[in-house]
Amino acid sequence: MKPTFQILALISTVWLVSISASFPSFAVSEPKVEETEPEKGPNRGRMLRDGDFAIELSIFETGVPPEFRVWASTDGKAIDPSKVDLNVKLTRLGDGIDDINFYQEGEYLRGDMVIYEPHSFMVSLTAKYQGKTFNWQYDNFEGRTKIAEDVAKAMEISTEIVGPSTFHETVQVYGKLVLPADATSNVYARFDGLVKKVNVKLGESVKKGQLLLTVESNESLQSYKVFSAQNGIVSTVNVTSGEQSKGRSLLQITNDETLIAQLAVFPKDLPTVRLGAKTTITINGVEEKQVSTVESRILKVRDDQAKLFRVVVNNADSALSEGAFVSAAIEIGSYDVPMAVKRSGLQSFRDFTVVYAKVGDEYEVRMLELGRAVGEEIEVLSGISLGTEYVTENSYILKSDVEKSGASHDH
């Protein structure tokens, strides 16, 4: 091999090693080993065999909540179920152990408790027949995956704890910013005369007590000074140096430290909106939201039958402008719920809406019965326990990995 080719080959090798080191594998789970499909019995249950003795364990859910039903046989012949003593323990991820005993019902044994979703657990079955004890154990996982902590962190998989919450129900409205009625003051000459000097310019910020004008009285020919009565911005200039005041407004000073959000509430929402209601305002082009309260309302409705409610907006830094469009959430009620989760964590799994519970570095679906949704949260009626850690952000990664695994449970 020529030296040039040797150098190129070496560079290629180093580059590939570098790329591999720089970009760690983000495969979420280990490659799944193809498993042999478990033997099914005549009742579509899983067959468990030990010599001539066999148990068929089936999850039955036709017309009833899911439950175990068991048929026993020896050498292929059915056994009187009353002669078999049976117990099944289901070890769940982070949710303890279900201890299920059985009683005879016709030609089978029936479990004494509902098998709640998810049907994901380690199954331990003990059967006693004619003085012998038979034991089986197997995994029946679904909706479960495993991700190392460092990989989960790199993927920005975030979690929170299931707990109670206070829901603040709101109505969404729209409007724009206007100046308060007393925001603008007119500046006059106390005594008509010649305006000798205008000390400010249009758009200039002024402070209370700042010199605005110097005027020479027509009667006394004495000069006097006119000062600003408030902080604000010079919004109008009606005079220039050398002009007569003529009893008119010479300047206008506008204080915009406070603005008013005029919000249009339409007839269907009018009964729910009250003075003093907490209001969260989003201003067009401004990232930070403002929280205030409904201060007043305008009596007359607009042509479109909307009524205007007025909310005070702080503008101490003069960052906001009159006329800017706003949206607002006006609180119309609040109530406590025993359990709630973030809507961002919801995913679909089979026919269920789920979140992914986190136990160590394992994640598993929790099928939820949901209630009212307000803002970013949704009420949980059942399906998960208080204090459970669950995924709130990037749960789609877990959904994808679970779907890739293709694991299913026994029925």
Tokens of 284: 């067009």
CB 256 within 8 A of CB 183: yes
* Two domains, one topology: 46-140 and 184-254: no
> Which pairing describes strands 84-91 and 77-78: parallel, antiparallel, or unpaired?
unpaired
Cβ contacts of residue 222 below 8 Å, gap of 6+? 216
Q: So where are the chain's domains?
A: 46-140, 145-166+336-405, 170-179+257-334, 184-254
Tokens of 48: 């468990």
Helix (H, G, I), strand (E, B) or coil at 256: coil
Per-residue pLDDT of the chain (411 residues; tens, 9 = 90+): 444 444 334 434 433 334 344 434 444 455 555 557 889 999 999 999 999 999 999 999 999 999 999 999 999 999 999 999 999 999 999 989 999 999 999 999 999 999 999 999 999 999 999 999 999 999 999 999 999 999 999 999 999 999 999 999 999 999 999 999 999 999 999 999 999 999 999 999 999 999 999 999 999 999 999 999 999 999 999 999 999 999 999 999 999 999 999 999 999 999 999 999 999 999 988 888 999 999 999 999 999 999 999 999 999 988 899 999 999 999 999 999 999 999 999 999 999 999 999 999 999 999 999 999 998 999 999 999 999 999 999 999 999 999 987 655 555
Determine what percent of the chain falls in helix, strand and coil, rounding each to the nearest 5. 10, 50, 40
Which CATH number is 184-254 given? 2.40.50.100
State how far the Cα of 181 lies from the Cα of 198, in Å rounded to an integer.
26
pLDDT of residue 1: 43
CB 328 within 8 A of CB 321: no
The CATH fold of domain 46-140: Immunoglobulin-like (2.60.40)
**DSSP symbols for 208-232:** TT-EEEEEEETTT--EEEEE-SSSE
CATH architecture of 170-179+257-334: Beta Barrel (2.40)
Tokens of 87: 């117990």
Predicted model pTM: 0.69
- Backbone phi and psi for residue 125, each to the nearest 5 degrees, phi listed first: -120, 130
The CATH fold of domain 145-166+336-405: 2.40.420
CA atoms within 13 Å, Cβ hemisphere of 202: 6
Residue whose C-alpha is closest to residue 187's, from 177, 200, 170: 200
